[in-house]
Amino acid sequence: MEHKISMQVDPLGRVHIPDNIMQLLGWNPGDKLGLQRDNNTIVITLNEKHSGPECAICKKLERKIRLNGLDFCESCVETIKAVAL
Ligand SMILES: [Zn+2]
């Protein structure tokens, strides 16, 4: 294994996959993952890429504004406003 990191399971049984690992693997919020158990080890794999609305610029799933058929998150809209002024 190339990377070994420590993650804490929250009260609902969830773990946070660090952003750098998500980027490294090309995973995004909304993607569907699979768990494969092998004794006391689990392997997490990408089962399906999310195909829902995402920001046309940064690809986050924080859709706020739709313009000409594209969705933009609030952060990118604010960046565009700042650049346009
Ligand atoms: Zn965005």
The reply to whether 45 and 80 lie within a common domain is: no
Per-residue confidence (pLDDT) for residue 11, from 0 to 100: 95
pTM: 0.54
Cα–Cα dist 41/79, whole Å: 43
Ligand 1 centroid – CA 63 distance (Å): 8
Q: 57 and 78: one domain? A: yes
Q: Which residues pair with 37 in a beta bridge?
A: 42
Same domain, 62 and 39: no
Q: How many domains does the chain have?
A: 2
d(CA 43, CA 46): 10
Domain range for 39 is 1-50
Q: What percent of the chain has pLDDT over 70?
A: 95
The rounded Å distance from CA 67 to ligand 1 centre is: 13
- Digit-coded pLDDT (tens) for 46-60: 998 876 778 889 988
User: What is the CA(74)–ligand 1 centre distance, in A?
Assistant: 7
